Amino acid sequence: MTNEQTILALASLAQSTRLDTFKLLVAHEPDGLAAGEVSKALGVPHNTLSSHLAILSHAGLISSTRYSRSIVYRANLGRLQDVIVYLLKDCCGGRSEICAPLMADLVPCCPPKETADV
């Protein structure tokens, strides 16, 4: 993960239609959603959405597979993780005391083991 790749990913998510798109695709993991269904769900013209999907895709945040006439998009959670790790790396680099409390707050949201009681 380079500085540039991180900026690309952050910029991709820093736009309301795209953030909504990404959230929608995350909510539909692991099945994914066809471009047309995203377009309909968000009330965005298909061509406008198409360019947003291309931007998210170029940033590596989503991927696509064609099934007959539809192209199904899926969120790439691994990429989201890469971005988050990159952002945290700076504060954790040699000084874990700084972001330890940050992590402590994160863990109850997503327990690393399968102690999911949410």
Partner DNA sequence: GTCATATGTCGAGAATAATCGACATATGAA
Partner DNA sequence: TTCATATGTCGATTATTCTCGACATATGAC
- The residue ranges that bind DNA (CB under 7 A) are 11, 15, 17, 34-37, 39, 44-55, 64, 66, 68-72
15 touching a copy of itself, by CB under 8 A? yes
> What is the widest separation between alpha-carbon atoms in the chain?
52
Q: Interface residues for a copy of itself in 94-113 (CB under 8 A)?
A: 94-100, 102-107, 109-113
User: Tokens at residue 46, please?
Assistant: 């298909």
> What value, to the nearest 5°, has the Cα angle with vertex 62 and ends 59 and 63?
110
Q: Which one, 33 or 79, has the nearer CB to DNA?
A: 33
Interface residue with a copy of itself, options 1, 26, 41, 71 (CB under 8 A) = 26
Q: Please tell me the number of Cα atoms within 13 Å of 99 on its side-chain side.
A: 15
Q: Interface residues for a copy of itself in 71-90 (CB under 8 A)?
A: 75, 77-78, 80-81, 84-85, 87-90
Cα separation of 56 and 52, whole Å?
Answer: 6
Determine the residue type at 80: L
Q: CA–CA distance from 102 to each of 21, 35, 107 (Å)?
A: 27, 36, 9
Q: Which stretch binds a copy of itself (CB under 8 A): 24-32, 40-48, 50-58, 66-74?
A: 24-32
Question: How near is the Cβ of 58 to a copy of itself at its closest, in Å?
Answer: 14
# of chain residues touching a copy of itself (CB under 8 A): 52
